[in-house]
Amino acid sequence: MFIFKRVQHIQDWVASQRKDGRTVGFVPTMGALHYGHMSLVEQSKRESDVTVVSIFVNPKQFNDPEDLRKYPRPIELDLIMLNEGGVDAVFIPEVADIYPPGDTNVIDVDQRPTAATLEGQFRPGHFSGRSDDVARVLERINP
C-alpha cells in the first residue's frame, strides 16, 4: 500500500495507473475508520482495478473549533485497516493542499434537505464544508 501526502505524488501515481489501463476507485474519509468505510472500500475494489482512500479531517465542516480539536485521528489504526483491506493507495493531505492559501473559491453543492437534518441540524455548515472538501479532493485525485 502506497501512502501519499503530496498532491503531485498522488496525481503522478493515479496517472501511472491509468497509463497502464487500470481504473481508479476512490473512497473519501476523515479517518477514524469503521465497517461502513471498509464496505465502501470493498465496493470500490469490486468496481475498480485500484482503490485510493483519502484521510482528511476538514476544518471547514466543524463550526466549533473544540469539535475539530477533539475529532479522533487514529492514523496508525486506520492505515492497518486499509492495508488489511487491500487498499492500493492512501492520500493524507495537509489542509493547505486542499485549501491553498489565498484560494477563496467555494464549491457550492445544493444541500437541501440534508443541511437541515442529521448533523446539519446541529452543525451549520457541516454538509457544505464536507461537499466542498470532497469535491476538492476529487479534483486532485480525479478517480
Residues serving a catalytic function are 37
- The partner residues of 3 in beta bridges, in order of sequence, read 90
Count of residues making up the chain: 143
Residues of the chain by 3-state class (helix, strand, coil), percent to 5: 50, 15, 35
DSSP 57-91: --GGG-SSHHHHHHS---HHHHHHHHHHTT-SEEE
Q: Which residues contact 89 (CB under 8 A, 6 or more apart)?
A: 1, 2, 3, 4, 10, 13, 50, 51, 52, 53
Report which secondary-structure segment, H or E, holds 2: strand 2-4
